[in-house]
Structure 1
């Protein structure tokens, strides 16, 4: 379980006193990303249900979104902002990568974060039905399964030394397949065709997003993985609350 604890401590602020630092466990932690997503989903679902009991849907959504950012340490949101700064600069590839490494946040990153948080909060406010609110179990797990596929399909940007450099070494097609079997079964159990549709369409959009970014950067970076998680989560929430559903 040490590999799982590495993934849990990296992706969340949850204390992990049982963690034993290990390079090998760190490399294997990638296969546990969907499971960590489920842990995040359990926390969010509990917070959202408790907040709905005490407050109006909009207030509950804001509190849930605040918990979402806190429990992940803003890790993926930071990647989304860095990527927005880099791609929004419209500079050559090397300069875009340099901008993404810069610890300072530019106007494009701030605007991208504001839009993303507004979209996710508005969608959460519509999840006031208990069956749909339970889909918060699914959203983080499915988004982190999409990342496994992106890691497998596109190379890490040559020359980058970020934390994502070695995480794909232990990843095998079996792990990705098992992750999708899990999230699809969970989705069908929670909200049948609606949740399954959200997983599938978010996968398609995530792959198109990763392909577009990789084409501009020559591959993906840790920031790209974080941005992909954010966009996958937002897309799934929007599909779940779509007005076209009966």
Structure 2
């Protein structure tokens, strides 16, 4: 793949998945594939920065709350918004078309509120006892779920929007290469911390997110931007829980 496309793809990934100011020169399906394959690398950077709040003096719960707040700021709350919208859509029990219409609304319904509250409580509780390597691992796991959700053969639920732009743009070899790189990074984090929890948590986070992806495809017919956001938060939460449980 040409270096120019890789560069454009990385810029696209940073601009789409974070609030970091970066010049994005191209937004099309040719660079969407490299962008989504690079999503775990963006997660690595986000986790590394947000995790600095955990190093501040004070109660561990305060550090966890500040780290999660910083992470939300670094991503403009985009993934949390997607999680809430998907919860409202799926929780409605409506057919796919009606559920998608609910997800497009700007307000948040009761299912979305409950899901956000529970998710953030679980994340904060898990992160309180898990620490810096866990947050970095969780951020990588959540974004690795995006790579797999954009594999060839995964359709978009709508003809327009972010889902249609990136759906099916990542080849299987690219997805496996991103996974191998993520495993290597998290294994390194684990070795530095004296635990094998990070790579296990990465696998658990990805697996949990893929279960949600399967359910969303069955209910909605494909992926949307909201589905992507929900996958990120699901993978992140599952990885944090595993890191908190394992020694």
The verdict on a shared fold, with TM-score over 0.5 as the criterion, is yes
Residue aligning to 1:35: 41
Provide the rounded CA distance (Å) in 1 between the counterparts of 2:50 and 2:168: 31
Q: Is the 8 A contact 1:57 1:125 kept in 2?
A: yes
- Please report the RMSD computed on the Cα atoms of aligned residues, expressed in angstroms: 1.8
Provide the rounded CA distance (Å) in 2 between the counterparts of 1:182 and 1:13: 24
Cα shift at 1:182: 1.0
Which deviates more from structure 2 when the two are superposed, residues 190-199 or residues 105-114? 190-199
Residue aligning to 1:78: 81
Cα shift at 1:22: 4.5
Provide the rounded CA distance (Å) in 2 between the counterparts of 1:12 and 1:95: 30
Q: Is the 8 A contact 1:126 1:241 kept in 2?
A: yes
Q: Is the 8 A contact 1:33 1:145 kept in 2?
A: yes
Residue aligning to 1:20: 25
Deviating beyond 4 angstroms after TM superposition, the runs of 4 or more aligned structure 1 residues are none
In the TM superposition, what whole-angstrom CA distance separates every residue of 1:174-218 from its partner, at most 9, and x where no partner exists?
Answer: 221111111111121112531121112222222221111211111
Q: Is the 8 A contact 1:30 1:168 kept in 2?
A: no
Provide the rounded CA distance (Å) in 2 between the counterparts of 1:214 and 1:140: 23
Q: Does 1:143 align with 2:142?
A: yes
Provide the rounded CA distance (Å) in 2 between the counterparts of 1:160 and 1:20: 23
- Unpaired runs of 5+ residues, structure 1, are none
Residue aligning to 1:57: 60
Aligned residues: 235
Q: What is the TM-score when the length of structure 1 is the normalising length?
A: 0.89
Question: 1:113/1:134 Cα in 2 relative to 1: closer, same or farther (>3 Å)?
Answer: same
- Of 225, 233, 236, the residue aligned with 1:222 is 225
Question: 1:109/1:22 Cα in 2 relative to 1: closer, same or farther (>3 Å)?
Answer: closer
